Amino acid sequence: MFGPGVWRFGRIADPVTDMQRLQREMNRLFSGASELYGHDFPPVNVWRGEDGVIVTAEAPGIDPEKVDISVVGDSLTLSGVRERDVLKEGESYHRQERKQGRFTRTLQMPFHVESGKVEAKYEKGVLRITLPRAEADKPRKIKIKTE
Amino acid sequence: MATEEKDIKKKPAQNPVETERTRSRKVFLPKVDIYETKDSIVLIADMPGVDENHVDMTLEKNILTINGQVEPQGFPGYGAAYAEYDVGDYQRAFTISDEVDRDRIDARVKNGVLRVTLHKAEQVKARKIAIKAE
């Protein structure tokens, strides 16, 4: 469910997938390869409202000009690059914990997005994207007539 | 992505001493890169949500402590649906060797990244000894 590739939210927790996830977590712990299946960058939080969704992502140190946000139908794709400092000769790292390089993430929304009204803001290393629900995709209220 | 994959999940910080914070907020260890150049040591810390008014650094004896405060944000009318990261403050401390000039430490914050340059003291830089041939 949280692998690279398309991810969706808004589903009711399914006990089978929960079990599978637990199993995968356990395998990860015991295989010693925990770093290999680390979470995707950037980590996101999703907020859901009546008219749409807000996605926040912790992506410190990126150039907002070089972040590509694209919305197609119900999927949102974030891609960009985190540049690393180029070391000169004779310079060396003491430690390197920050993740760097190119990143791409695709998230699937539970509805079609009004792509023309998507807003994105980058502040203090946190990216915030507001995705309004497409008008055509909104639930329609059906009036019940009485005779 | 680079050859090695790194776990990007934030790790909870451990207080170096047995103290309690007055604010009941989660504290995380910021991820850092540290590299050494000929005349300085550069420390880069990822602290998303922190700006120049909410970060402070203290140097006591040889311990450099970084503190960052993050205001949790909420969106009226919206409810949390899914979370991969948690919001909280940042704290981390490093021991600094004597070769660092205490009076020349620069720090800047940009886009949630703190960059600290610790300049090496003059006498340390001049320690290289030329060897002459006979």
- B10 falls within a domain: no
- B117 falls within a domain: yes
Helices (H), chain B: 122-125
- A58 falls within a domain: yes
- Tell me the per-residue pLDDT of A29-47, one tens digit each, with 9 for 90 and over: 565 444 433 467 889 999 9
- A116 falls within a domain: yes
> Per the confidence metrics, is the pTM higher than 0.80?
no
Percent of chain B's residues with pLDDT above 90: 43
User: Could you list the residue range(s) of the whole structural domain that residue A22 is in?
Assistant: 6-85+101-136
Tokens for A27, please give them: 């395998």
- Tell me the per-residue pLDDT of A105-122, one tens digit each, with 9 for 90 and over: 999 988 899 989 999 999
Helix and strand element counts for chain A (H, E): 1, 9
How many Cα atoms within 13 Å fall on the side-chain side of residue A84? 17
- A92 falls within a domain: no
CA distance A91 to A124: 29
Q: Is A93 on the interface with B (CB under 8 A)?
A: yes
Nearest to B112 among A41, A93, A124 (CB): A124
User: Could you list the residue range(s) of the whole structural domain that residue B65 is in?
Assistant: 27-73+80-125
Q: Nearest chain B Cα to A96, which residue?
A: B33
The residue type of A84 is R
Cβ distance B84 to A125 less than 8 Å, yes or no, reads no
Measured torsion, CA atoms of residues B91, B97, B98, B104, in degrees rounded to the nearest 10: -50
The residue type of A30 is F
Cβ distance A60 to B82 less than 8 Å, yes or no, reads no
Domain count for chain A: 1
- B134 falls within a domain: no
- Confirm if A58 and B48 have CB atoms less than 8 A apart: yes
Domain count for chain B: 1
Cβ distance B9 to A9 less than 8 Å, yes or no, reads no
DSSP state of A26: H
Query: Which CATH number goes with the domain that contains B35?
Result: 2.60.40.790
Tokens for A131, please give them: 């995705």
- B16 falls within a domain: no
Q: What are the residues whose beta carbons fall under 8 Å from the beta carbon of B121, sequence distance 6 or more?
A: B98, B99, B100, B101
ipTM score for this prediction:
0.74
Neighbours of A131 (CB within 10 A): 26
- B9 falls within a domain: no
- Tell me the per-residue pLDDT of A67-95, one tens digit each, with 9 for 90 and over: 999 999 889 999 998 888 888 888 889 99
Query: Which CATH number goes with the domain that contains A41?
Result: 2.60.40.790
- B116 falls within a domain: yes
- Confirm if B10 and B29 have CB atoms less than 8 A apart: yes
Q: What are the residues whose beta carbons fall under 8 Å from the beta carbon of A145, sequence distance 6 or more?
A: none
